[in-house]
Amino acid sequence: MIVDDGNSAGVASKPTLQDASSNDMSRWNPPWKVWIFIAFTLLIIAIVRTTNITADHAVDNVITASLAFLAICTWVSWFSFYSRHALWVRMLPIAFFVLSVTAFFILNRIDHVSGDLIPVFARRSSFHPDQLLPLPARPTDSDDQNGPDFTSNTANDFPQFLGPNRTAKIDGIELSKDWEQAKPEQIWKQPIGAGWSAFSAVNGYAVTMEQRGPSELTTCYDLKTGKIQWSHATPARYQNKLGGIGPRSTPTVDKGKIYSIGVTGQLKCLNGKDGTVIWEKNIPVEVGSTAAEDRDAIYYGRSNSPLIVDDLLVVSGGGTAEKGFHSLLAYDKETGEEVWRGGTDQISYSSPSLTEICGVRQILIVNEQTVSGHDPHTGKLLWSHAWPGNNLSNSSSSQAVVIGPDKILLSKGYGTGAMLLQISHSRDDQWSADRVWDKHNVLRTKFANVVSKDAHAFGLSDGILQCVEIATGRTKWKKGRYGHGQILLVGDKIIVLAENGTVHLVAANPKKFEELGKFKAIEGISWNNLCLYGPYLLVRNSEQAACFKLPIQ
């Protein structure tokens, strides 16, 4: 007789508690290959976030989000298709993911993005703030019948984009370096229409451009009260998820007239007293481009501010590859009659400036793929140098900065960095431009501009304030995370408008970074340039505008 003791080879033993626990855990734990893939993905994310390998925070954010999404999808895919749970359990992650994402985007929309491509969401049913603002009322009989006086000049005037000389520099004012004892005083703060235009200020009045609903406005404000004096409306509305809403260029004030360019290229010469039109031009039509072609070529909208050169008004042109490009157009500033065209390069988002290089007065302009100098009387090309770019993916917005008598400093974001050029002019009137240095890790300005002082340049490099020795391109310091804001050099101090709407005061000291003070000025993403009229600082973004009186030392 054979006795079966339960351990015979052909008889299975009962599962133990330990076996059941191990079996349950295997249902939840992916195989080692999945873990290795997820770990490798997280390692790449860590490298991207800590080394700045792409030289662009926006690209870092896109890569991080993409890899994190891939890691999550990998685990969900394993659980849903290869784990040993019941089918209905395995389908739960996919169902939850699809339903939650669908519900979120049914209720919300991407309203806009930050300079680092971080999306900002809003309720899908909500209006943009500019759509809730009424068009400004016309002045009443009780208002000043003479209107604002833009014909009189003062020592404090800030009449155009980036100030009197279009260099983002103001001299003759010494700001207090102690904002604790003498605090900046808020004069007014109020809503404003959308757009990235800055203020220009002359004789106590300030002008800017803004979007209110379906109308693009050029508006005039009393600088001390914030009260609108007049507005001129053009039926146009520009909206882009990446670029935002509204006009981008800053009006120019000259001898009682206001010159403004809308985001679609509507050039207006307005009477400074009441905003009535003196003359106007449609720049895309002038260069033989349709509205659709202009939108495709200048994807984020025209942001070039008009420039006064003697009796001329000079603007960036544009065009198409089939009909030709026109870098610059010049008009008689009184009549609007065309005087000349200059250059054959497509325009960028930069603005022309009047300067002197090698002792020769000229117009300096950063185009889509070049930087060039032009004769101010004829538009003739004097010299040109390659500055690669693309108006969609690698755009040029920053101004070229003239260094000394014969050098030019270029800067841009998207991982490009900065370049120093040596400009030469021979006795037989031959021009040349040669590269001195070119570095991708310095002055990676995106929307901001560079200022120079005492052989050093200061700029927001991918959102961090950086000081660079101009002769060598060597970084002296890089500190202060301000985002993609704007800067203005005032004497030996730098006013920084951070991307979050906070105003900072930083010493323009190449030896060390020193922040002297700060205060919260406005709410929302702030990409607009600054305007300083004497001690009065005008700041704005796409939702708010404010005036502060800064303490003077």
pLDDT in tens, 77-96: 777 777 777 878 778 878 88
CA 172, CA 319: separation in Å to the nearest integer?
Answer: 41
Residue 102 CA to its chain's centroid (Å): 31
Interior CA angle at 360 toward 333 and 450, to 5°?
80
Read off the pLDDT of each residue in 208-212 and give the average, rounded to a whole number: 98
> Nearest CA to 301 among 262, 353, 330?
262
- Sorted by where each begins, the domain ranges of the chain are 17-123, 157-549
**371, exposed or middle or buried, with CB in 10 Å at 0-12, 13-18, 19+?**
buried
> Can you give the pLDDT at residue 92?
83
In angstroms, rounded to a whole number, what is the distance separating the alpha carbons of residues 371 and 355? Answer: 14
Dihedral sign, Cα of residue 216, residue 369, residue 530, residue 465? positive
- pLDDT of residue 132 exceeding 50, the answer is yes
- Which CATH architecture is the domain 157-549 placed in? 8 Propeller (2.140)
Please return the burial class of 111, using the count of CB atoms within 10 Å of its CB with bins 0-12, 13-18 and 19+.
Answer: middle
pLDDT of residue 26: 54
Q: How far is residue 119's CA from residue 234's CA, in Å, rounded to a whole number?
A: 30
Within 13 Å and on the Cβ side, how many CA atoms surround 129?
Answer: 18
Judge whether 501 and 541 are in contact, CB under 8 Å.
Answer: yes
pLDDT at residue 141 above 60?
no
Work out the pLDDT band at 110, boundaries 50, 70, 90.
confident
Q: Is the pLDDT of residue 378 over 50?
A: yes
Q: What is the pLDDT of residue 418?
A: 98
- Tell the residue number behind the tokens 């980036």, with chain if given: 162
pLDDT, one tens digit per residue, over 228-259 is 999 999 999 998 888 899 999 999 999 999 99
Which tops the pLDDT comparison, 5 or 429?
Answer: 429
**Cα–Cα distance measured from residue 540 to residue 543, given in angstroms and rounded to the nearest whole number:** 8
The DSSP line for 299-368 is TT---PPPEEETTEEEEEEEEETTTEEEEEEEEETTT--EEEEE--S-B-S---EEEEETTEEEEEEEBS
Q: Indicate the pTM of the whole model.
A: 0.88
176-194 tens-digit pLDDT: 999 988 899 999 999 999 9
**Which burial class, exposed, middle or buried, applies to 529 when counting CB atoms under 10 A from its CB (0-12, 13-18, 19+)?**
buried
More confident residue, 526 or 9: 526
